[in-house]
Each structure stands twice: as structure tokens, then as C-alpha cells.
Structure 1
Amino acid sequence: MARIISKFLKQALTSARTAFVGPQILAFVPALTLGGYWFGGEGLLLFMAIFVPAAMGLVGLFAPMRSADRSDPDGDAITGLPLKQAVLDTLQRAFEKDGDTSSRTAAVVLEIDEFESFRNTYGADAADQVLGQVAERIGSTLRQGDTACRLHGATFAVALAPARRLDLEAMIQVAARMQQAIGAPIVIGGMRLFLSASIGFCLPRRASERSPDACLDAAETALRDAQASGVGAIRAFAPQSPRKRVKRTGLAEEVSDALEAGQIRPWFQPQISTDTGDIAGMEALARWEHPDRGVILPGAFLPAIAASGLSQRLGEVILNHSMTALRDWGAAGEHVPNVAVNFSHEELADPTLCDRIRWELDRFDLSPDRLCVEILETVISRSENDSITRNVTRLNELGCKIDLDDFGTGHASIANIRRFSVGRIKIDRSFVTRIDTDRDQQSLLTAILEMAERLGIETLAEGVETVGEHALLAQLGCNFVQGFSIARPMPFAETLDWIRIHRQRLSDQPRIAREA
């Protein structure tokens, strides 16, 4: 009871200070002094003019209020979490205790998936808001004694206080609980967004040595293994893992050599028709097949590509491999209608782009409709570059298909959709996630599909991860789907087997005879 009363009094004082401190108090001082003069003459006027401000200063109403938004004034400026040393200290204390008990600790490292892409799409302010909310959600999953910090970017670390029976199964449950908290809808600027996080963890007995640094480093290595498996993965550190940990800061130095060595190349993700189930195309997605780190996702190396001025060179590499894949699929007797390739702002502004694409199509003896040019919605919604408009118009006249990628994130107007001759919109996965369970998502997506139908534009939903989402999209009239429920991105060598298995499944399905 005493604690409750103390808390109530503290809140009351805070409310009083909020009401009286600041510029608004100046409006009352003249009124008080004037009242003193009215009732007591010049003597009381002088007394009020001196006594009132002095009294307010003495009770601390003018003292600066400490922000309640930050849990640690010496911690991270964006999230308010303590610094990395706090996590290491928690692990060290746990190591010192667990020798005498059966309790065990663990280190967890998690990272928001594709956060760089989110930052580029929504801006730095929205990204900082997301980091703050994610930090709060991580905190909501922790017990007393657990410590969390932000390592860098969208990467967080957690040190768990000692607990009994903290084994592999328990850690998977802890990681899943964190993912569930992060995955709840986040509202930014009136938009409902869905995030996911990849997680790696390490139980101390699995680390190379018994130290906080080794345990945390091992958890980071497990995170990279998780990211190589796709978004939203969870991995435990395994000491026999052959991958070596490479500092992220070294990527910028390696990326140029990797491009020329052929380590960066497209993986392909199928797109299928919701009407027939047939393959409608493949999207080319850049992957770095690092000799030490394994497969690195684009979110980790595209910033280094852009910073090194290699965006156009990367585009040339991806386009060449995509044309080669179309030719080789045909040579193997498998027809893939087209390949979708994403073109960056820098490429679209290149005056020679159209001529270069025409030359590539001629060299591989491919018709222009075999190439689908993907343009980010943020590019056409913000760009007034005449070269971009000219290039897209010429590519459309050449016969290439034009896709508007990540629709719903860049506020592209209908006029821009018409101006760029968009033939298909790719609905961003933030509008697709949980559509089979979220009525608001269903209403929003229905509106998008109805708009596209009235404009005569085809639709493709990205990020379809469940059978329920796939089925509902087909019922709502979305033309094409793409996502993990169909197939994950795969290197070219695996695509032929997947195509054959998929076609076999289609042929094995029972067909309903049509009435004469």
C-alpha cells in the first residue's frame, strides 16, 4: 500500500510540474502581481513580484524534467537501451554464479530483417521509431535480471540471467517469443507494418571459450547462419560450423572483388498464376555466395555496393545472368515466360540503358517480352528525372514488361502509373502478411485489387508465406503470387528440378470435367 501511495504522489508531482513549468507560467506572474497591487497596494505588489518566482524556484518547479523516454541516459540514443558492456557484464556475473548452481545463461542476437530496405523506403525518422518500438517489445519479453542492448543498426543483443533447465528447447521458445512480440503490427504514419527478425543464440558450453565476448560472438555467428536460411529464421550456434565470422565493415572492401569474381549472382524465385498454377516467371534476386560466410542476403551488401558506386555494374551482372538463365531453361526444354529484374535509380537514369538492354536481348536471341523491368514505387513517386521517364517509355515501346515493385510503400499516383506505362503492380508483402486472419488487411488489399482491375493492370502479391494467404489472394482476384509458400529463392542449378517437380504436381491434380 505504501508503494502505491508513493507512486501516486510521485505521479501527482510530475503532473503538477508539467502543468506549471515552462513558458506558460509567465502568463500568470503579471496577473498575480496585479492582484497583489489591487488588494494590498505597492507593498504587496513588490512582495508578489519577488516572492512568487522565488517560491517556485525553491520547490523545484523550474528544474528541468528528465525525459521518461530513455531508460539509460548513458545508453543508446535511439532506443534508450544500455550499451553493449551491460550485456557482457550480465554474462560475466552469470558465469561467476553458475559454477555453484544448476542454472545456466545464454546470449541472444537478433536483427530486423531487410531493415536497410525499410529505411530506404520509409526514411530515417520512421526507421528510428521502429527501432524504439522493437526495443520496447524485446524488453517486454525479458525477465528480471535479463539485459538487452542495441549493438548496431537494427541488431540487438540479450544476455539472459541464469535460469534452471535453460537448454536448446527452452532457448528456441525464448527466441520464438521475441519474434512473436516483434511481429505484431507497428503503426508508422498511419500505416500498419509487419516486421520479422532473424535470431541466433549461443549456450555458453557451445562457445569456443568460456567468456562473455566469445559467447556473444558465437551468437552473432548463429545469427548470420539464420539469415542465410531466409527471413525469420532461428539458429543455435554450432561449434563445428565451417563459416568464419567476417566483420561487416570489411564488406565494402570485398564487394568490388566479389562482383568481378562472380560471387554475386542472381538466385531465382518463381512467380505463379493463381488461376492455373502455371509458372508465370522468375524474379532475379541478388545473392553473394561468400567463400567464408556462405550466402549473404542483399540487405547486408547492397549499401556497400551503392557506397562503392557499383550499382550499375551489379545491374549488368544480374541482367547477364538472367538472360543466360532464360536461354538455358529453353535449351533444357523448360519454358519460363520471363525474368523480372530490378533496376536501381542509377541504372534507370543511365541514357544508354535501353540500347544496352536491346543489345543483350539480341545477343541471347530473346524477345523483349521475356524481360520484366521492375521499378521501385519510391523511384517513380519521387523522381522528376526526365532520363528515367524516357528510359522506361522506350523500354515499354521496345516490348519489355514494366512492373511497379513494392506497391503501397511509395505513394505513387495513378498519373505516374500511367506515365510509366506500368503493366503490373507488385503488392508489397506488408499488405499481404496475415491477410487470411486480419480483416483490416483484407479490406486494404481488396481496395488495391479493385483499383488495379479498373485500371486494367495485373497484380502480383509478394511475400506469400502460408497456404491460407495464397488461397485468399486467389479468391480476391490477385493474378499472380510469389513467396516462401511456393518456393524460396534458389540458385539456377536448382531451378530445373523445381520446375519439373512443379509441373508434375500440376499434371497429377485431378481435373474436373466441364459440362457440355
Structure 2
Amino acid sequence: MELKQARFEQTERSAKVGGFEMDLATGTIIWSDQIYRTVGLPVGKRMTSEEVIGCYAPEERESVRRRIRDVLDGSAAGIDKEYRIMTPQGEERWVRVVSDIERLSGKPSRLFGIVQDVSEKVRYEQRLLQAANADPLTGLANRAAFNAHMERLTAADAPSIGLLLIDVDRLKQVNDILGHATGDLLLKGVASRLDERLGKRGKVFRLGGDEFSVILDAPASARRMGSLARHLIEYIGRPLQVGGSTINPAITVGGAISEGRMDAATLSQNADFALYHAKETRRGSYIHYEPSLRSRIARRIQIVREVESALTEHRMVPHYQPIVACADGQVRAFEALVRMRRSDGSIVSATQFHEAFTDPSVAYHIMTRMLEQVAADIRGWIDRGLEFGRVSLNISASDFMRGDLETRIVAAFASRGIPLDKLMLEVTETVFLQGMEDAVATTLQRLRKKGLTVALDDFGTGYASLTHLRSLPVDIIKIDKSFIDTMLVDESSLAIVELVLNLARKLDMKVTAEGVESHRQAMRLLEMGCTTLQGYMFGKPMGRERVGEYLCARKPGVTENVERPQEEPRRFLG
């Protein structure tokens, strides 16, 4: 008999299963030794129903207490259920309780059953669930968890659900330049900062790639969301040490709030519209969704398609605007400006399709097309013996992203035997505000050594101009048209123009004034020592066939009956 009991106890221990019963008339509770071991109590300890209830985790106790009451009044049936328990030592465990009720004369007399320790099974299931709902790189909840959370909130009609979608800027450049391991460290750093800074205000998810999301817990308002988004942008933008390199992370954020009975898909789409618009127009900032964004984005998509079609059909062409010497009015250069020839033959300026330049691929192919055509036109003018100085091309941040700008320029000009001193590149401050200042400076410096000239365009409209003049390889400063327009009537504009001219002299740089349209503007700039002028006064942008006529008409002694774009500047520039 003792051997049989020992074998029974061994079986209980191995299976982690114990038996119990409760006399419903007296309240006496009998446990097998294994149940005591499972709940962490001394074997044989006398148990009351309240002490049994105390073994369960706090959130389970009321359910167990109600179960016992139902058993006693005869309204309960058998169960098969898992519960969370807490041992006196603070260890968390899970048990499966299977019980039934013995009845005598139709009345419940005894509750009996088994308790099995299923902690290992539950923990394994939790690990599987965590793996299915967690991002392995950052440890944040993943897209599956995001979708499930959004569905729960919208199904429960949660008021004013706030959603932020976050894009990590320039991740591709980090991967390409510093390696994917560094890119992964950058993502982990951003994830950690997002989670740390958000705190209890919401939940962070990594949706994949360079995209994160935040679902706010409290009812959202546009003002609070905007404040939080700007705070996250500032906090995440602090220098981050990753893989031996210092990186200034940057994020772009779009946000939306649910309205009425809005489903999860619509809310996500609205936030995505806002993020898309922010990335295309104000990268590194926050934009909140508004209904008009849909039509604006639709217009941008339409324009991009139109430009892509024009590229395929070779309808993107350069027009050239002259840049003349302030002292004698002679042509010193032409700026090549991209134009689109529509299918009906009309020509439109870049201001009418500027949205297309926000698409990096489209901007890249426009530059490729411009390089080819400008190089061909320069070759033609050289062969005709025309004196045109050099031609300037505007380049954007997209032209530096692939790291092949120098190769493309050299190939386009070398194939036609054109020296690079015939080319000038115009860059704006926005190029240097994309986190690629070192790469841009290095590329431009190498090109300058090959004879190319660099101009800083739209000078004065940014907010880091002086820093860029000190750190970047620039030969010419172009004063923005907005200052030239108002310098004769606004003392502050005049002071800025004078300051730029004085600064350029000390830095041994030349200055081009853009947007010169009157004799008075030209004379004032001449008096202040400006180097070259550009504007409608000297000629509007013209097709390549007109450039030859323009240059010939300006040669001394030429009396051809040629339509001149504007009054001959030499008449008033001495």
C-alpha cells in the first residue's frame, strides 16, 4: 500500500498535477501534496476557502470567490480553466483547474478536481505571441500588434484616437555610407528615444523599415499632438553615438485624429497622407492631416506623372538666361533652367511642375537629361566660336544621394571634349540642410579641382548662410531676387545687399545679383561693386537656338535685325 501511494505521488510530481476536494457542508478542504508544492505552501497546511482564494493573482480572486458562492448555492457546474497564481515567494505561475460537483439527493455535497501547473506551457505561448507581435531589432511592438491595437480602439469607439506616423530621414544614406549595422543601431537609438520620451502618453510601434507609429492613449487634440510631435523631433535630433560615428538623427512626422466612427484603415490613411506631404514639402517637420491634403497630393502625383511622361518623350529642355558683367554688360555666363514642352507645344517653367522635384527619382532623371542637353549645346556653341563664358546648372539634394554626381558630370562633358571650366553648379542652402554637408562639400571640392565653378544660390533666404560660406567650397554668391526687388525702397534689404557684397570681397568671392529688372537697380549695384547681374533687364530665359542670335547681336559692329530680349545694357553701364 505504501509503495502504491509513493508511486502515485511520484506520478503527481512528474505530471505537476494534484487533486483536491472540498466538503461543501463543513467547508473542509483537502489538497494533495503536489498542490501545496505548486502554490508554494507547506505540505499539510490547513486551508480555508479565503486562504485558497488568496493563492490566486489579484485579478483572479473575485472570479474564484464568485465560483465558490455559485457552488454553494447549487448554481455552478464543472469548469476547465487556466488561472494566474502568485506564490508567497512572489513567483508568478499558471494553473489549469478542472473540477466537478458531486451531488447527493440533488444537492451539491462535494467539489473535487485536479490542479495542474501549466506555467511552462503558458510562458512558451507568451514567447510565441511576443515573437509574433514584437519587432526583433528594436523590441517594440510590430505592425501586426499595431493593426490589432488600432482595430480594438476603433471597434470600441474610443474617442479622438490620435495617430502619429514617423519616418526616419536619411536611413538609406547611413546604410550606404556607414553600413547596415550602423543603420540598425540608428533605428534602435530612435526607437529607444521614442519609447523613453513618449512615456505613458501612448504606445510606440515599429511598422518596418524606417517607419514608426505612435498611438496616443488619451483623447487627442491637434494642438497637443503638434506639441508632442515637435518635442519628439527635437529630442530625437540630438547627436547619437552609433558604431563609432556621431549621427544627428532626423524624423519627419504626420498625424491624424479619428472623427466620429472612423475605421482604422481611414485613420491610418489620413496620417499617411500627412506624413507623405511632410516628406515631400517640409522634411524634418510635423504636418497634421487636413482634408485638402488629398487634393494636393493627387495634384502632385499627377504632376510627377506628367513630368515622367515628358522625360520619356524628351520634352524636358533647357532654356538659358544670360548673366552679364556689371561693369560693361558683356555676357559672362548663362543659367540653364529646365522647361517642360507640353504635348501641345507650349513651354512651361519649373514653377508649374516644381512638385515633381520632391520625387528623388524624377529629380535625378531631370538632372541626367539636363546634363546631356547642356553639354550638347555647349559643344555646338564652342564649334560656332561663340563667347558665352560658362553655363550654370542648378543641383538639388537628390543629385548627391546616389554618390555619382561627379561621375555623371565628367562623363557628359568628357564624351564631347568639353573642359569643366565651362560649367558652374548652383546649390542652395537646402542641399546642405539634408544631413549631407560633408558629402556635398567633398564632391564639390573635387569638381572645383577639375575646373568647375560653384555658386551658392538664393543667398540670404536660409538660416545658416554664414556657416556655409565658411565651410563649403563656394566661388560665387547669388543674392536672392527678393532683396534686389526691394533694396531701393527698403533700407533693411539694401543693408543686406551691401553686407553680402562686403563679405564677398573679404572672402575673395564674386557676387551675382538675381532679378535685376530696372536701370536704377543696375546702377546702384554697380556703385556698390557687384560683379555680375542677372534678370529680365538683360534677357529672359531663351531656347538654345536663340542663344546664338543673342550673342551675335551683342558683338560690337553687328547690325543684324535681331529681336533683342531687352534694352542693351551697355547703354547705361558705361
* TM-score, scaled to structure 1: 0.50
Larger Rg: 2
Structure of greater relative contact order (alpha carbons < 8 Å, 6+ residues apart): 1
* TM-score, scaled to structure 2: 0.45
Structure with the bigger percentage of strand: 2
